[in-house]
């Protein structure tokens, strides 16, 4: 899945940046049980009452099949036998702790293996939005047992219809069903259990029949609904999002990734709609009883995991190319052409890359009006939010276009890596997501080499996740998780971005041919199965050894375990011995605050690459040597010891930072200061130098004097990638300075450094350049930063463009602002404007039907400095009227994006978090994300205390996301104490030199 892309804009940039600083949100489950808070006597009373009711039902006094009998609490409730078993529509409202309580261990017993599912569904696409279904699950018994335990959540399961039959021969079932003792739910595990009197025999097969019903929900998980308007008429769409643990909300199933089975679906729909699912339709026929309803019978799937099952019912139209189709609402279908043009190219590229044919007969891709994540790789039916699949040439930005190509590449890569071979358990999700995130760049590079995506990798992925992974509260990439809440939490930047960065490192040290051969064998041999990271390491080690890349002393596993089973990453300090040829390498975990005892013990296998002032070879990324798992390592190398300077970690392919002795930093800085020769250092390595030196200073590994000296060269830098690295890092310093009396010093320094690159890009968006995506991306980064810093021309040009639009006779049909300027123009005009500009923009937001334009406007509406406008905006964000649920995070991110707005967002969250949580389907991870936005610039003891009070008052678990947020603020407080004064001093001297 692609997690939701956040607009982030830390604070200098208003533009939605692909990949960078995205904040993961997940499609997590949350659930709670009623009953926890009853007093003991009340609980008992309720249980007795329900027992009585159930008994009545059981003896048939009431013939209503789906009456509800809810288990009141685990343990006691387990013995209640009900006519129907019902996980009642959850009280999603107002649990004051906000935190669903799960059992930690929620794994299914291993005694039963599902083989085939035969599912029928009859959804009501209006009225009460209920759906009725049946499922027949063919199972194989692996151990003698009496219980069948599977998953179900928020479903009514009809007890009287449940039946279990023994399979006699391939086709034939025993006429008599097994005798059922009881059926019950275990809410804390989301289990549904059938207990039998008759023993299930090891090796035998059975078929479980169940009838159930449920609601097509309005929060964005499981089987859910969304709508859009056509000429003031509401059209409904019903679709699914099952990853990670929500297939159980749509039908009872064995909902774990390793439990693969074949799925056959039969879905009924209104005659005027269409259903797409993983497999093609075999035939359709009229529904027996519901007039105007039609059955679609889908082909049986290949063996697959439950979380990849998908279906979508809509009145969309589609266009096709070969066996790939794209679906969207009719008035947006034209914008699906771009996705349809890249998808077949990427699919072919991937078939060749993996050397494994795509095994399904077709792929459908559908752009849904509401979608929590960015996109989801369901096998054969990829679901997208509109902005990740639809691209409007003429209206959308260069960034949108790249984003569509990357997301299509990501999801198509999953068709093999994830769908064909699946991680055995969610702990290994990084393998899935890291790999797909890495392939985004490879596939985009294959279809559009002019975008130079591979250069952008370091700034979009590696350097952004470096910041998170430097916190002591970061986590191991391969990380034990058990319950749905924990599972949802690891769909984070560590899994995606660090995962992709260490896979990229591996591809470089193994070399591409060896890497691909290993992958290909892994996919071929593990196809239709599940696997762990050790399986992949085994295949890669074999290839590496047979190609002579690794000797007997080590293995891919030994190397990669140091990256996946340990938290964080190293900084390698490189120093010359004064009078020998020895070069000393020393590794230590890189952290922003003091290293702990635990950190001291962490050591990595580090691939070493380097070049020198005389070699200037930035192409060879194959390691010349390895730093083994030792603290210190010495290299004998005359080229290095006599070089004027050297740079380690070519193209930043290794997941580590590099520090040098001061002489080398000075010599490298001097080379960068040489306006004629600095480009001899590759762009990715210039970005690396900026990012490393500023972060080393941030973590007190060297002085800010050394770091700021290096940034002086930016005055003649015009490269996109180095500037992006600089902007990200100055974002941080800016966010620390923005509440201080010396902000002007920083602002003036940065404006001076920007002069050359600003003049080069200019304030324009000409048609002629429309194909030079790199220039467009660079321009939007530079202009955003310039306007943020108060660049006079930038602001006045923004206003001029915006007023042209305001004066346009029909602003909705005719927007004179070039698409790539819109982000900066909207934001500046609203920032320096009044209620009038704000309302004008909001009006345009309501009127436009172009999803990318809606997103731009939503982000810009947060740029206002007027507190009441911002409060009103946040209110509208959760009113559920004009702003979609999927966009709540965007609204918050936008408001949090300015120093005024951040405090407002924090207050608003503090006062309304329960309401927000309920509105968003009680997924506490969303609240965590909002809190992260709203605390970004906090850097005083007072603010830290405020944050801690909030967390305490809310009585949240002090779990990892909260710990990370608190640590972030703590390190900022610490940073201010340690560095603020020295940077101010440096800036003062710099200003004097400039003035003189
Ligand atoms: C699948 O279920 C439907 C509805 O219960 C039934 O008519 C059909 O025969 C089943 N198919 C298989 C292969 O069991
Ligand atoms: Zn993914």
For the segment 904-916, what is each residue's pLDDT rounded down to a tens digit? 999 999 999 999 9
pLDDT of residue 597: 78
Is the distance from CB of 878 to CB of 915 less than 8 angstroms? Answer: yes
* 424-438 pLDDT per residue, tens: 999 999 999 999 999
Nearest residue (by CA) to ligand 1, atom 11, is 118
Report d(CA 13, CA 786) in Å as an integer.
9
Structure tokens at 869: 């406008």
Q: Which of 116, 209, 266, 288 to mutate to test ligand 1, by most ligand atoms within 8 A of the CB atom?
A: 266
Nearest residue (by CA) to ligand 1, atom 13, is 118
Q: What is the pTM of this model?
A: 0.88
In a domain, 619, yes or no: no
Q: Which of 115, 116, 117, 118 to mutate to test ligand 1, by most ligand atoms within 8 A of the CB atom?
A: 118
120 lines ligand 1 (CB under 6 A): yes
Q: Which ligand is nearest to the CA of 438?
A: 2
Is the distance from CB of 367 to CB of 390 less than 8 angstroms? Answer: yes
Does 244 sit behind a cis peptide bond, omega within 30 degrees of 0 on the bond before it?
yes
Nearest residue (by CA) to ligand 1, atom 8, is 118
Report d(CA 278, CA 636) in Å as an integer.
58
Structure tokens at 736: 């620390």
Relative to the CA of 134, which ligand 1 atom is closest?
5
In a domain, 940, yes or no: yes
Is the pLDDT assigned to residue 543 strictly greater than 70? yes
Q: Which of 115, 121, 132, 136 to mutate to test ligand 1, by most ligand atoms within 8 A of the CB atom?
A: 136
Is the pLDDT assigned to residue 601 strictly greater than 90? no
Report d(CA 260, CA 121) in Å as an integer.
21
In a domain, 980, yes or no: yes
Kindly state the DSSP code that residue 301 receives in the 8-state scheme: P
Shortest CA distance to 201 belongs to which of 261, 150, 140? 140
Count of C-beta atoms within a 10 Å radius of residue 183: 21
Residue 528: is it exposed, middle or buried by C-beta count within 10 angstroms (0-12/13-18/19+)?
middle
Q: Which ligand is nearest to the CA of 412?
A: 2
What positions carry a catalytic annotation?
411
By DSSP bridging, strand 375-376 and strand 363-368 are: unpaired
Across all residues in the chain, what is the average pLDDT?
88
* 100-126 pLDDT per residue, tens: 567 778 899 999 999 999 999 999 998
Residue with tokens 């609904």: 225
Q: What is the CA radius of gyration of the chain?
A: 29
* SS3 call for 749: helix
User: Can you name the residues that pair with 238 across neighbouring β-strands?
Assistant: 225, 313
Relative to the CA of 118, which ligand 1 atom is closest?
1
Give just the sign of the alpha carbon dihedral 420, 425, 428, 432: positive
Is the pLDDT assigned to residue 29 strictly greater than 80? no
Report d(CA 871, CA 930) in Å as an integer.
15
In a domain, 898, yes or no: yes
Nearest residue (by CA) to ligand 1, atom 1, is 118
Q: What domain count does the chain have?
A: 1
134 lines ligand 1 (CB under 6 A): yes
Is the pLDDT assigned to residue 645 strictly greater than 80? yes
By DSSP bridging, strand 222-230 and strand 233-241 are: antiparallel
Q: Residue 707 — pLDDT band, cuts 50, 70, 90?
A: very high
Tell how far the Cα of 23 is from the centroid of ligand 2, in angstroms: 14
Q: Which ligand is nearest to the CA of 373?
A: 2
Query: 352 vs 345, 406, 443, 541, 981, CA distance in Å?
Result: 11, 18, 12, 22, 56
Q: What is the three-state SS of 686-726?
A: HHHHHHHHHHHHHCCCCCHHHHHHHHHHHHHCCCHHHHHHH
929 lines ligand 1 (CB under 6 A): no
Least confident of 61-75, 188-202, 269-283, 909-923: 61-75
Is the pLDDT assigned to residue 264 strictly greater than 60? yes
Q: Which ligand is nearest to the CA of 118?
A: 1
136 lines ligand 1 (CB under 6 A): yes
138 lines ligand 1 (CB under 6 A): no
Is the distance from CB of 501 to CB of 441 less than 8 angstroms? Answer: no
Is the distance from CB of 436 to CB of 417 less than 8 angstroms? Answer: yes
Tell how far the Cα of 795 is from the centroid of ligand 1, in angstroms: 66
The mean pLDDT value for 725-751 works out to 95
Tell how far the Cα of 493 is from the centroid of ligand 2, in angstroms: 12
The mean pLDDT value for 921-937 works out to 86
Order of all β-strands in the sheet with 233-241: 222-230, 233-241, 311-314, 274-277
Is the distance from CB of 585 to CB of 605 less than 8 angstroms? Answer: no
Element (H, E) at 907: helix 899-919
Task: Return the axis-axis angle of helices 773-788 and 819-832, rounded to nearest 10°.
Answer: 10
Query: 968 vs 467, 692, 957, CA distance in Å?
Result: 10, 19, 18
Q: Residue 950 belongs to what domain range?
A: 881-996
Nearest residue (by CA) to ligand 1, atom 9, is 118
135 lines ligand 1 (CB under 6 A): no
pLDDT of residue 767: 63
210 lines ligand 1 (CB under 6 A): no
Kindly state the DSSP code that residue 115 receives in the 8-state scheme: E
Kindly state the DSSP code that residue 747 receives in the 8-state scheme: H
Tell how far the Cα of 2 is from the centroid of ligand 2, in angstroms: 5
55 lines ligand 1 (CB under 6 A): no
Tell how far the Cα of 118 is from the centroid of ligand 1, in angstroms: 6
- Nearest 5°: the CA angle 794, 797, 803 is 140
In a domain, 933, yes or no: yes
Report d(CA 859, CA 818) in Å as an integer.
17
pLDDT of residue 66: 33
Shortest CA distance to 786 belongs to which of 739, 840, 730? 730
Query: 73 vs 100, 185, 189, 780, 916, CA distance in Å?
Result: 14, 10, 12, 55, 27
Is the distance from CB of 717 to CB of 781 less than 8 angstroms? Answer: no
Report d(CA 193, CA 151) in Å as an integer.
8
Largest CA distance in the chain: 98
* SS3 call for 90: coil
Is the distance from CB of 98 to CB of 244 less than 8 angstroms? Answer: no
* SS3 call for 283: strand
Nearest residue (by CA) to ligand 1, atom 14, is 118
Percent of the chain at pLDDT exceeding 70? 89
727 φ/ψ angles, rounded to the nearest 5 degrees: -65, -45
Instruction: Output b/e per residue, 138-168; b: 16+ Cβ within 10 A.
Output: bbebeeebeebbbbbbbbbbbbeebbbbbbe
In a domain, 963, yes or no: yes
265 lines ligand 1 (CB under 6 A): no
Is the pLDDT assigned to residue 8 strictly greater than 90? no
Q: Residue 96 — pLDDT band, cuts 50, 70, 90?
A: very low
In a domain, 182, yes or no: no
**Residue of 923 and 580 predicted with greater confidence:** 580
Shortest CA distance to 760 belongs to which of 769, 79, 196, 307? 769
Least confident of 311-315, 375-379, 968-972: 968-972
Residue 356 contacts by C-beta under 8 Å, 6 or more apart in sequence? 416, 420, 520, 523, 524, 527
Report d(CA 227, CA 237) in Å as an integer.
6
Tell how far the Cα of 64 is from the centroid of ligand 1, in angstroms: 25
Tell how far the Cα of 905 is from the centroid of ligand 2, in angstroms: 30
Q: Residue 943 — pLDDT band, cuts 50, 70, 90?
A: very high
Q: Which ligand is nearest to the CA of 375?
A: 2
Tell how far the Cα of 217 is from the centroid of ligand 1, in angstroms: 26
Structure tokens at 813: 């049909």
Is the distance from CB of 5 to CB of 16 less than 8 angstroms? Answer: yes
Element (H, E) at 385: strand 381-385
The annotated binding site for Zn(2+) is made up of 410, 414, 433
Q: Residue 4 — pLDDT band, cuts 50, 70, 90?
A: low
118 lines ligand 1 (CB under 6 A): yes
By DSSP bridging, strand 112-123 and strand 130-141 are: antiparallel
Report d(CA 869, CA 875) in Å as an integer.
10
Least confident of 254-258, 320-324, 954-958: 954-958
Is the distance from CB of 54 to CB of 81 less than 8 angstroms? Answer: yes
Nearest residue (by CA) to ligand 1, atom 2, is 118
Instruction: Output b/e per residue, 200-212; b: 16+ Cβ within 10 A.
Output: beeeebbbbbbbb
The mean pLDDT value for 832-860 works out to 94
Kindly state the DSSP code that residue 582 receives in the 8-state scheme: E
pLDDT of residue 91: 38
**Residue of 855 and 772 predicted with greater confidence:** 855
Report d(CA 786, CA 797) in Å as an integer.
12
Q: Which of 115, 116, 119, 120 to mutate to test ligand 1, by most ligand atoms within 8 A of the CB atom?
A: 120
Q: Residue 654 — pLDDT band, cuts 50, 70, 90?
A: very high
Report d(CA 156, CA 251) in Å as an integer.
10
**Residue of 652 and 45 predicted with greater confidence:** 652
pLDDT of residue 306: 98
In a domain, 138, yes or no: no
Report d(CA 630, CA 351) in Å as an integer.
40
The mean pLDDT value for 943-956 works out to 90
Nearest residue (by CA) to ligand 1, atom 12, is 118
Tell how far the Cα of 134 is from the centroid of ligand 1, in angstroms: 9
Report d(CA 679, CA 721) in Å as an integer.
12
Shortest CA distance to 655 belongs to which of 444, 508, 541, 514? 508
């Amino acid at each position: 899945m692609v997690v939701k892309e956040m607009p982030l804009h830390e604070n200098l940039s208003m533009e939605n940046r692909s990949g960078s600083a995205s904040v993961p949100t997940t499609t997590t489950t949350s659930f709670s049980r009623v009953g926890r808070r009853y007093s003991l006597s009340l609980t008992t009373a309720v249980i007795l009452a329900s027992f009585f009711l159930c008994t009545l039902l059981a003896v048939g006094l009431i013939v209503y099949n789906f009456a509800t009998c809810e288990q009141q609490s685990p343990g006691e409730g387990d013995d209640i036998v009900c006519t129907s078993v019902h996980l009642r529509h959850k009280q999603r409202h107002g649990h004051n702790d906000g935190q669903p309580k799960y059992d930690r261990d929620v794994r299914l017993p291993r005694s039963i293996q599902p083989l085939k599912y035969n599912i029928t569904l009859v959804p009501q696409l209006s009225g009460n939005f209920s759906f009725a279904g049946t499922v027949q699950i063919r199972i194989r018994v692996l151990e003698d047992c009496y219980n069948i335990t599977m998953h179900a959540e928020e479903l009514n399961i009809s007890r009287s219809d449940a039946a279990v039959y023994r399979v006699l021969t391939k086709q034939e079932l025993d006429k008599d069903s097994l005798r059922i003792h009881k059926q019950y739910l275990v809410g804390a595990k989301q289990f549904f259990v059938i207990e039998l009197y008759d023993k299930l025999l090891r090796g035998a097969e059975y078929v479980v029949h169940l009838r159930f019903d449920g609601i097509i929900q309005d929060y964005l998980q499981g089987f859910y609904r969304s709508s859009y308007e056509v000429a003031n008429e509401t059209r409904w769409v019903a679709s699914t999002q099952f990853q990670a643990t929500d297939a159980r909300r749509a039908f009872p199933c064995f909902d774990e990734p390793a439990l693969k089975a074949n799925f056959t679906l039969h879905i009924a729909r209104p005659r005027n709609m269409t259903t797409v699912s993983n497999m093609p339709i075999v035939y359709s026929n009229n529904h027996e009883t519901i007039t105007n309803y039609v059955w679609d019978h889908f082909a049986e799937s290949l063996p697959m995991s439950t979380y990849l099952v998908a279906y979508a019912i809509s009145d969309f139209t589609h266009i096709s190319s070969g066996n790939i189709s794209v679906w969207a609402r009719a008035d947006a279908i034209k914008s699906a052409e771009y996705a349809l043009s890249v998808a077949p190219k990427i699919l072919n590229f991937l078939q060749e890359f993996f050397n494994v044919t795509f095994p399904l007969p077709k792929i459908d891709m559908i752009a849904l009006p509401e979608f929590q994540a960015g996109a989801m790789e369901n096998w054969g039916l990829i679901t997208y939010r509109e902005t990740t699949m639809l691209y409007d040439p003429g209206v959308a930005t260069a960034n949108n276009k790249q984003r569509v190509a990357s997301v299509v590449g990501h999801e198509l890569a999953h068709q093999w890596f994830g769908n064909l071979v699946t991680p055995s358990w969610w702990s290994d999700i990084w393998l899935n997501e890291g790999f797909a995130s890495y392939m985004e760049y490879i596939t985009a590079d294959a279809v559009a080499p002019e975008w130079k995506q591979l250069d952008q990798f370091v700034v979009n992925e590696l350097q952004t996740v470096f910041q998170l992974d430097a916190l002591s509260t970061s986590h191991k990439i391969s990380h034990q998780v058990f319950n749905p809440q924990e599972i949802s939490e690891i769909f984070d930047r560590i899994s995606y971005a660090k995962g992709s960065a260490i896979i990229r490192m591996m591809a470089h040290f193994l070399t591409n041919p060896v890497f691909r051969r290993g992958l290909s064998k892994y996919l071929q041999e593990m196809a239709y199965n599940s696997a762990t990271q050790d399986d992949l390491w085994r295949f890669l080690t074999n290839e590496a050894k047979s190609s002579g890349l690794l000797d007997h002393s080590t293995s891919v596993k030994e190397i990669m375990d140091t990256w996946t089973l340990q938290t964080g990453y190293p900084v390698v300090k490189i120093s010359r011995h004064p009078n020998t040829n020895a070069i000393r390498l020393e590794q230590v975990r890189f952290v922003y605050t003091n290293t702990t005892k635990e950190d001291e013990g962490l050591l990595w296998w580090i691939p070493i690459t380097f070049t020198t002032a005389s070699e200037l070879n930035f192409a060879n990324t194959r390691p010349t040597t390895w730093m083994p798992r030792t603290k210190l390592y010495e290299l004998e190398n005359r080229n290095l010891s006599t070089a004027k300077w050297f740079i380690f970690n070519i193209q930043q392919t290794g997941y580590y930072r590099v520090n040098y002795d001061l002489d080398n930093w000075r010599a490298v800085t001097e080379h960068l200061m040489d306006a004629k020769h600095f480009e001899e250092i590759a762009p990715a390595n210039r970005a690396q130098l900026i990012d490393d030196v500023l972060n080393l200073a941030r973590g007190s590994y060297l002085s800010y004097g050394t770091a700021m000296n290096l940034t002086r060269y930016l005055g003649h830098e015009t490269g996109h990638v180095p500037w992006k690295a600089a902007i990200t890092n100055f974002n941080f310093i800016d966010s620390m300075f923005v509440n201080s009396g010396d902000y002007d010093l920083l602002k003036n320094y940065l404006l001076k450094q920007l002069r050359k690159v600003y003049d080069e890009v200019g304030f324009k968006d000409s048609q002629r350049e429309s194909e030079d995506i790199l220039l467009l991306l660079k321009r939007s980064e530079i202009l955003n930063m310039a306007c943020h810093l108060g660049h006079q021309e930038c602001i006045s040009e923004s206003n001029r463009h915006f007023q042209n639009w305001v004066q346009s006779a029909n602003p909705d049909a005719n927007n004179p602002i070039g698409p790539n300027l819109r982000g900066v123009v909207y934001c500046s005009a609203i920032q320096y404007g009044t209620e009038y500009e704000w309302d004008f923009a909001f009006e345009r937001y309501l009127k436009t039907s172009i999803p990318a334009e809606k997103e731009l406007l939503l982000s810009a509406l947060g740029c206002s400095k007027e507190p009441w406008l911002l409060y009103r905006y946040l209110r509208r964000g959760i009113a559920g009227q004009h702003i979609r649920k999927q966009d709540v995070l965007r609204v918050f991110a936008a408001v949090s994006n300015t120093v005024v707005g951040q405090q407002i967002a924090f207050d608003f969250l503090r006062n309304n978090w329960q309401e927000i949580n309920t509105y968003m389907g009680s997924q506490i991870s969303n609240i965590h994300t909002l809190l992260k936005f709203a605390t970004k610039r906090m850097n005083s003891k007072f603010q830290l205390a405020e944050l801690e009070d909030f967390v305490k008052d809310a009585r949240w678990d002090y779990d990892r996301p909260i710990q990370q947020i608190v640590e972030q603020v703590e390190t900022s407080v610490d940073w201010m104490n340690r560095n603020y004064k020295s940077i101010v001093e440096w800036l003062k001297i710099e200003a004097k030199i400039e003035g003189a």
